[in-house]
Amino acid sequence: MPASVKGGIELRKALRKFSPDLAKETQQKMSGALKPITKSAKGYFPDDSSVLSGWLPRENSQSRFPTYSARQVKAGVGFKTSPSKPNRRGFRSLASVFNKTAAGAIYETMGRKTPSSVFVQNQNNKYGQSMKGNGKMEGRALYRTYEENQGKAREALLEAIKIAADKLNATAKARG
């Protein structure tokens, strides 16, 4: 579940400007909170033998539908601790977990809108992986891992930001 942090971007800029060592420490704490999620999520993606045969790479294929390669999908899972660009409503993400492959994104969200489609039914019959989460936060690997993490990563990120803010304020007060 997303959390709203006001002044997070400004804090990160101030940390880089006035206390680079504290900025690095904060980045490391944030990375430490997100690494277990990415590691666990990689385990939820199926091997090549567990996906439908038509989804695997084929010789001389002219199709545009992305093919599934477990190695590429698992390598595409990562995290980012730098702020994102603002969305349409002006919100930004201070940290995010992502999968940058098209096949991984399809596997993550297949069945969210059309759970009765033939593709989803065939894949579920072959692999039997269920979705976890609610609404737009529902998925098979990344969202599932986040749901099973029970907010520990979110709390660790918020704690890292709070500690950095407190240390920066204490340093500013000491300087006068």
User: Which among 96-105, 108-117, 120-129, 166-175 has the top mean pLDDT?
Assistant: 96-105
Cα(168)–Cα(176) distance, integer angstroms: 13
Cα(105)–Cα(112) distance, integer angstroms: 12
Give yes or no for residue 131 having a pLDDT over 80.
Answer: no
pLDDT band at 24 (very low <50, low <70, confident <90, very high): confident
pLDDT tens digit sequence for 46-86: 888 888 877 877 777 677 788 899 999 999 999 999 888 98
pTM to 2 decimal places: 0.78
- 55-82 as b/e: b if 16+ CB within 10 A: beeeeeeeeeebbbbbebbbebbebebe
For the chain, the 3-state helix, strand and coil shares in percent, each to the nearest 5, are: 55, 5, 35
DSSP string, 36-103: HHHHHHHHHSPPGGGS-GGGS--TT----SPPP-HHHHHHTEEEE-SPPPP-TTS---SSEEEE--HH
Residues of the chain with pLDDT > 70, as a percent, come to 93
Instruction: Confirm if 140 and 127 have CB atoms less than 8 A apart.
Output: no
CB-facing half-sphere around the CA of 102: CA atoms within 13 A? 5
